[in-house]
Amino acid sequence: MNIIFKMSRVATAFIATLLLHSSCIAQPDSTGKGLKDYYKKYFNMGVAVSPRSLQTADTQLIIQQFNSLTPENAMKMGPIHPLENVYNWKDADAIVDFAVAHGMKVRGHNLCWHEQTPNWLFKDAKGDTVTKIVLLQRLKDHITNVVNRYKGKIYAWDVVNEAIDDDSTKFLRNSTWYKICGEDFIIKAFEYAHEADPNAVLFYNDYNTERPEKRERVYQLLKKLVDAKVPINGVGLQGHWSIYEPSAKELTDAIKRFAALGLKVQITELDMSVYPWEKERRQKRPGEIDTYTEDAERRQTEQYKMVFDIFRHNKKTITGITFWNISDKRTWLDGYPVPGRKNYPLLFDVNNKPKKAYWEVVKF
């Protein structure tokens, strides 16, 4: 009787272990290990956070899984510098303090972008558009103040975000920055950041960098900067991908192309949408399905496995991976670009539990 009881206990423990490690069943990682531990010999594993997420049930998951934080919004120019002489440090400080307290790194995001800019930035007191001299001085003041405040705590900055046009027949985006300064704003932004913190690793950051046409235009810009000895150290591939793209070849080609310029590569905003890429907002189509289907789950698991195989293979070039949000419970892709549509792009599900894709990513 006793023997049978013992045997059944052993069998139960064995089955439980099998289930836990089976790629078919998502369980919390009760090994206590997180992505940062599995990838210790490869790269930092990061996540984009809000200050609120550091005070909720998500906090434990963040601490268990990641060793690098990116402020999702708190350091963008609009939120952190709402008026010419007013800085709102509270949210950014909270994230940096949390990271320091938990021995995590911080990627600063971002110093110059055409979106989420404050209203005062491009206008003078009379409401007229400012001159190039004024705008560059404002950019310098902004970068100097923000970079200085976190000097020694933020190891890398996304200095310029998304300067390439969406139209493949054009080069630089016709943003207000560009209209007023031409391409000098890009060069200057890197120079100001380097002056403020010569030790910070400085990145150009963009999306769709694996699509050959966009890749080549980004390459052209980066080559210009490198040739002109502008202080740039790396390129951020945002990694807002989907179960449909990029292909293994596209991703490999992009990493190699940028590495050939002597630049480091980071994946800065990783997620894997279960829908095809659509940047423009549109209405939900009648009958459009927004459940996490078995097929989407299978394809997403394969796609995550594929990209992480490539990341590990390129560990000499890649120095960090950052996910854009923590779990499928809340992602910026919920309702974007289709209002009311739920997405499931991350490695943790709506209950913060690891998905099948997680187990594939840590199985190597």
Nearest residue to ligand GLA, by Cβ distance, number only: 332
94 is written with which tokens? 């909270």
Q: Which among 84, 191, 250, 269 is annotated as catalytic?
A: 269
Q: Which listed residue (72, 162, 210, 360) is catalytic?
A: 162
Strand partners, 129: 123
Binding-site member from 53, 161, 233, 322 for ligand GLA (CB under 6 A): 161
Query: Does 337 sit behind a cis peptide bond, omega within 30 degrees of 0 on the bond before it?
Result: yes
Q: Which of residues 22-41 bind ligand GLA (CB under 6 A)?
A: none
* Residue 269 touches ligand GLA, criterion: CB under 6 A: yes
Instruction: Please report where in the chains the tokens 């002109």 appear, as a residue.
Output: 228
The residues pairing with 123 across neighbouring beta strands, listed in sequence order, are 129
Q: Does 209 bind ligand GLA (CB under 6 A)?
A: no
Residues from 223 through 242 that contact ligand GLA (CB under 6 A): 238
CA distance 178 to 96: 31
Residue (109 or 341) nearer to ligand GLA, CB: 109
CB of 151 to ligand GLA, least distance (A): 22
Active-site residue 162, yes or no? yes
Binding residue for ligand GLA, selected from 176, 332, 350, 352, defined by CB under 6 A: 332
Kindly state whether residue 301 participates in binding ligand GLA, applying the rule CB under 6 A. no
Strand, helix or coil at 341?
coil
Give the x-and-dash track for 64-103 against ligand GLA (CB under 6 A). Answer: ----------------------------------------
Output 45 or 163, the one with its CB closest to ligand GLA: 163
Half-sphere exposure of 197 (CA within 13 A, CB side): 22
What the block records as the tokens of 238 is 């945002």
Q: Give the nearest distance from C-beta 9 to ligand GLA in angstroms.
A: 49
Query: Smallest distance, Å, CB 14 to ligand GLA?
Result: 44
- Under rule CB under 6 A, residue 277 binds ligand GLA: no
Name the minimum Å distance from CB 161 to ligand GLA.
Answer: 5
Number of chain positions touching ligand GLA (CB under 6 A): 6
Give catalytic status of residue 115 as yes or no.
no
- Label residue 295 exposed, middle or buried (CB < 10 Å: 0-12, 13-18, 19+): exposed
- Does residue 50 belong to the site contacting ligand GLA (CB under 6 A)? no
For ligand GLA, give the closer residue by CB, 26 or 193.
193
Of 361, 261, 251, nearest in space to 314 by CA: 251
Q: Which pairs count as long-range contacts for 30-39, CB under 8 Å and 24+ apart, including other chains?
A: 32/64, 33/362, 34/64, 34/65, 34/66, 35/65, 35/66, 35/347, 35/361, 35/362, 36/65, 36/66, 36/67, 38/361, 38/362, 38/364, 39/321
Strands, E assignment, the chain: 44-49, 68-71, 105-112, 156-161, 201-206, 234-237, 240-242, 264-273, 318-323
Active-site residue set: 162, 269
Instruction: Provide the binding-site residues for ligand GLA, judged by CB under 6 A.
Output: 109, 161, 207, 238, 269, 332
